[in-house]
Amino acid sequence: LSKVFLEWKKKNSIFVREFFKLLFYQNHQKIMKISFRKISTKELATLCERVIETSKKSGFPEISGHPLLLGLEKIYKEYEAVYTKASYSGKGVSVAKADKERDAVYSDLKGFLKAYSRMKLFPEHEDAEKLYEVIHAFGKNIGALNYAEETAQMKKLIEELNKPEHHRRLSVLRLDPYFNELKLKQEAFEAVYTEQTQANSELRQLKSATALKHELENQLKVYLSLVNAMKSLENWKRFYSDLTKS
């Protein structure tokens, strides 16, 4: 793995060095016309990182604290945050698992009540019938609903089963453990589903790498034009030399 990393680093270092050789042979007007279209998002990130890093290490406040460099660094941080980002939160597996566990408890409870309600010789079959009616009213085809709809229906079902008359029937049938487990699984699902919703919302609010790429390219051009224009001054001359040797 380290060998692969070293090869990648060497390759990108060569790319950065050759880019600067080409870049600084151009005059100011040509720098501003440079096209980054053939540079990948990763290569652009590598290039900006090297420019910023070399600028910060120059030891000259007029360079390391220059507004154009600070502007480049600001946009680069935004770009870095999004070009490697996932397009989704990655919490889908956890949500599906929590939903499956919730459905399993619900199915067991529903199956028991349906079977018990048909056993007319048992005195508690009427309690089972009443509870099954509640299950059927709120949970019919609940598995075919999407996560949001199923969650809303499940909350209504739990609220109804929490009523004193239904709670008594659950106790008579010794189903309290199942009902409590259903409530726990519902709470667990809501927690992870909320996390997924928030995470996906945050990702959607971030600018895309494509949208930021053009902005970063322009800022980089402006800053490199400054370096090119100031290279005759002593401190900038040394910095210019360090940058082209990067």
DSSP character string of 195-231: HHHHHHHHHHHSPPHHHHHHHHHHHHHHHHHHHHHHT
d(CA 97, CA 57): 49
Task: Please write the tens of the pLDDT for every residue from 188-213.
Answer: 999 998 888 777 766 665 566 667 78
Q: Identify which has the larger pLDDT, 14 or 143.
A: 143
The pLDDT of residue 225 is 87
- When pLDDT is cut at 50, 70 and 90, the band that residue 239 belongs to is confident
The first and second tokens of residue 37, run together, are 């279209």
Task: Please write the tens of the pLDDT for every residue from 115-144.
Answer: 988 888 888 889 999 999 998 888 777 877
CA dihedral sign of residues 58, 13, 44, 234: positive
d(CA 186, CA 192): 10
The pLDDT of residue 235 is 83
